[in-house]
Structure 1
Amino acid sequence: MDAALTGLVAVFATLAGSTLTFVFQRHIARRAERFTRDQQLWHERIATYSAFAAALTDFRRSQNDRWHLERADPDSPQFIGARDESYQRRADSTAALCRVRLLCGDSALFEREIHTARSEQDRAGRGETARLALDRFLISAGGVTQRSSAP
């Protein structure tokens, strides 16, 4: 009877050990998957936010170029080219914003039509407002990416 009891205890101990091993391995695997997913999302956010910042910076520059060239000669080929470039930069910025929104929801950025400014002071103010909005976004996005990268 002692041998049977010892055998039974050994079987239960083996089953308990196997069960605990399975539970711990599953927990470790889930944690590793979550870490990998978080890392992928972090890299995606960095790439997306960087592309967004670059697109907005190019758009703001094209708006300033357009404004200055329109003041110099609104019928010149240079102005027409700058206007066309500003349209393309706006489309690029909108596409980048859509990607940001897919990753993190709505952003706090808003559009400022630099090319419609009435004066140099108005143009400079609109450009600065756009630059500051981008800075606020990047500061906010930096906090999100730092928090999400922690294991």
Structure 2
Amino acid sequence: MIQQEVGIPSAANRLAMFRIGRVDNGVTSIAATAQRFREAVDMALTDKSEVVSTKVVTKAFIASYQAFSESLEAARTGGVVKGATIDVLESIMKKLKTEYADGLASLRGDVARLEDRGPMSMKEFCAAASDKIDRLEQFWQTTYQHAPKMKM
């Protein structure tokens, strides 16, 4: 039997802390990328250069979608964390639940603004973006079911 040196976390604890860190990073990135998407939509609605606006909005949406997807993957893998670190994960998962719901609502609202007031060339983008948001919402529901349960 290998004895653990004092102060050095076990491999299992290091892996758990890595997974917790991934979930925490996911929480942070959701709000930031949703804000950048909002700024891109604002710019697209005021910008007269349709081609540049479409590229900027698309790039910002892809970054948001990626941040949401990565946070889901982190939440899914975080569900295997056990032991003393589970309390830390539960706290972060509570924040993730709130940030995820707020972030999706923000994306949905900004896509709706773009669809209502944006140029016709954005209509196809908006339909595709709404579909992606629906998929994120569905994936979230199944992912969250397998995540550590919160103590209320």
Higher relative contact order (CA 8 A, sep 6+): 2
Q: Could you tell me the TM-score, scaled by structure 1's length? A: 0.47
Q: Could you tell me the TM-score, scaled by structure 2's length? A: 0.47
